[in-house]
Every structure is written in structure tokens, then in C-alpha cells.
Structure 1
Amino acid sequence: MKSAEMIKESLIEASRILPEDAMHSIMSAIPSGGKAESVMNAIKKNIDIAEARQMPLCQDTGAFWCLASIGRDSSASIGDIEKIVNEGAAAAAEEGYFRKSIVSDPVFGRVNTKTNLPVFINYEVVEGKDVTLRFLLKGFGSENCSSVMMLNPTAGEEGVVSAVIEMMKKAGGKPCPPVFLGIGIGGTLDRAAINAKKAFFVQSDDERYIALGERIREEVDRLEIGPGGLGGYPTALGVYVLEEATHIAGLPVALSVSCWAERKAEIVFPGGVLC
């Protein structure tokens, strides 16, 4: 199978079928009684219908976001990667019945590209020869609730928790909770934002940051925004944290919000061989 074809198939599947871990989080969080149970059961029914009928999980099939991790010993070029990513995404949008959701200019005219392109691609160099492509299908009900805060360097753990809680209070029911949260800490404004999305795939292995993520999940749950924003539990199904070095004068914190439909795909090309 050609590289672009692999990308197409992975993106179509991501639009229709949730990852096993996301599905487990949803199924294990269904409460008993009240509006919260009704909403969670409606979400489960939505998931079942999408898989059975091979239809997108949501009418907002999202913007294509990609992180290309390129092995420093790989023979793949950025030009080749960009070509197959855009070819695969365009085919997925057409064959997978994706809503046409991308405009060519953000302010003047806002003319629909009618292709769901471009894919918003970020690049990083990693060890080895492999090329790994990680995709998010980013609906904008949740993306519009994502944010970056530049905290004082003395803010510490309490400041990070407070920042995320304030962002989630502001979001309320708009991102279609229950949500999954990616949190990028450190770096610069842009690096924190990229790491917040990368955290949906790669999380910190530092026990302190793992504990911080769990603390944030519990405190977001205590907001009782609830499924569909109708109150109760759960509000957060998972919180993923990824940290990076930063400047002595700053503490960037980025929050990437995903609705319950955590749509993602990951493809590895061994040796960086693209075809």
C-alpha cells in the first residue's frame, strides 16, 4: 500500500472509530441516573452508529493537524512528507465524507478551500531512521476552548493547576464534554501549544507530572460541568501532560481541549521509507 493510501485509510478510520483507550475511558465513566447518564448513553449510541454505518463520529470532522517526527538518519525529505500527507488527507476528506471546513483566509473573504486542505503540519527531528506521523482531527468546538497562558516563573504547581481550571471554567459546556485534555508546560508560547497536542500521543514519564495530570483531572471533574455541559460527572476523561525546558523568566502553560471524540491516528514508516 502506498504511503498516501495508508494515511487516507488511517484518517478515515480515525473519523469513525475511537481509539481503544478513549473508548474504555468513556465506557468506564458512565454514571448511574440523571442527565449525565442520559448524555453518556447518547454518546455511546453515537459511537455504535458511527462504527456500524461507517460514518463520521461528528459532523465537524475537524481540521487536519499533523506532527511529523523525522529520524535524523532517515532519507525522507520534508517535501516528500508534505506531499504524501496532503495527498492522503485530501483523499480521506473526499472518500470519508468529511465536512468541508477549511477557509483559505482567516479574516478577508473566508473562502472555503473545498478540500479540507492544507494540513497543519509541524516537524521535529528525533533519533533513528523512522518517520512517524501523528494526526489529530481537530474539531473547533473544542479547539476554540484551547488556550495558552504565560505564567510567572514562581507560579509553580499551584499556578499551573489554577490556570487550567480557569480555562476550563471559561470553556464550560462548549467543547462537548466530557473532555480529554492535553497540557504542554514549558518551552515557549508556540512550543507549549505544540506539546499540548503532542501530549495526546506522548506523555511525560516523570512521576511528578503524571501526578499533576491526575490532580488536574480530579479538579476539573469537581467543576461538575458534566456531560454535555448539563452538570454532574464526568467532565474530564483523561489529562495528558508533556513538559519541556523553558526560560528562567517564564512558565508557559498550553491547554489543548478535545471533546469526547478523541480522534487521532499514528503511522510509522520504518526506516523513513515512503512510497
Structure 2
Amino acid sequence: MGVLIDGKKLAEKLCEEVKSEAAAMSRRPCLAAVLVGDDPASQIYVRNKERDCLKCGIDSRRYDLAATTSEAELLRLIAALNADDGVDGILVQLPLPEQVSERAVINAIAPEKDVDAFHPINVGRMVTGEGTLMPCTPAGIMDMLHEYGISPDGKHCVIVGRSNIVGRPMGLMLLNADATVTYCHRHTRDLASFTRQADILIVAAGSPRLIRGDMVKDGAAVIDVAMNRDPETGKFFGDVCFDEVEPKAAFITPVPGGVGPMTRARLMKNILAAAKCRAEK
């Protein structure tokens, strides 16, 4: 039976640290959150981030824009937020309406205020191991590994999924931690032959119950990033068949209560880090 990695408990610990450090600053850190359209899931995500800010002693401003907002209008708002000395972090909730280029929006956010750490400059700094602002989900996973004494050094880490938000930066962070990294994706042939080699298996494919018990070796650490919702029961589950994999794993994350809370806690740490960097200038 594997050790359950309690992301919720660790996230609460990190948020308390952020709250303490934010309280010691001469000015409260501030997040500007931009929501374009009325997607219900995006509204929940932004509302949760506002609550997290309140809990961590961080001010938040919310900008709700119509789904018909043009790319030019959104870029003008971002430019104004970039120039606003009262704003330390800018977050534009994804996905965006089809008339707005996601890449153009990401590139428009000032790197020092890019608390999602999606800007190419922040990605480059992460590659070289010099990043201050790190992608929230991969950074949260690294925190979890450290907290539970799971060192990537010399381990074979297999990542299922190659998105710019999770998979790709996750591999780079593990590489910087001296792991041997293998990426798998939808074109990978014989996926199980790779996942069975993993000392640390990180699954972020968005494919419900993709990883079965016979695809994981005994004693592996298994991190399930996905959050899938059963339309009939309303319950959430991951890309890993928990009941099959948990008896074989040395460590495993639950869904929910694993990676999700850590992603949100890491966003708070990024806002604090951005505020500190700007205060030092």
C-alpha cells in the first residue's frame, strides 16, 4: 500500500509561509486576474484564486471582459496592467475565445509580472535553471517530491503528456534535478513499456484511467496531474486507475486533493516572488 501524498496539507503549509512573508512587506502583493467570457469552469478557477489571495494576505483585482472582446482590447488592458506599479502579478485565465491569440496574450504580459510563468523569457530562464517564476503545476510537483523525500537524482522519470503547461516544463525541472527523463505522448508506441520503467511516473495526458496497474512497476512514485469529471456521478478522477496502481506504488497522489491544491499554492508563491523582485528594484 502506497503512501498517500497529501497535496492539500502541503498547500496549506505553503500558503501560511506566503501569508507570513507577505505581511512583512511594506505593501501587500497584488494580483490582477483577467477573465474573458463566461465559461463556468474558468469562473470557478478565478474565484478560487481570489479566495487563495485573500487567505494569503494578497490583494486581488478582477477584470471581467465580454466573450466578444477583441484581441486589441485585451492587449490594451494588459499594457495598462504592465504599467501599473500597484500590480505585481498578471494572470489571464485560459482558454480564451477563438478571436484572441493565446500566444499573443502570453507574450504581451511583462515577464516580471507573468505569475503563470508562460512567457518565453521565463521559460528560457527555467531551462537554464535561473528561473524565479516557475510554472505552477510542475513547481508544485517538485515541492511534493521534496516534502516526501522523493529525490529525482539518478531516477528514471517518465512523463505522460507534453503540454507547455505541465509536461514539457516538468521534464526540464526534473532534468535540472539530475533525473533521467523520458517523455511519452499520444504518438508513443507501447506506452506501457516506458511507464513500467519509471521510478517516478507523472501523468498529465487528460485521458481518464489511462494508466492501469500492470503499467506501473512496484515501488514507483506516481503523480496524477489530471482532473476528469464523471458526467453521471459528478465525481472527479484522474488519468491513473487509483485502485489498481495504489497497491503497487510506494507513493501516489489522490484525485482530488493531490496536485490541484499545490498548483494554486504555487501561484501564491509566484505572486509573492514577483512582488519581492519588484520591491528590490
Q: Given the two structures, how large is their TM-score scaled by the length of structure 1?
A: 0.31
Identify the structure with bigger relative contact order (alpha carbons < 8 Å, sequence gap 6+). 1
Q: Compare the two structures and name the one with the higher strand fraction.
A: 1
Q: Given the two structures, how large is their TM-score scaled by the length of structure 2?
A: 0.30
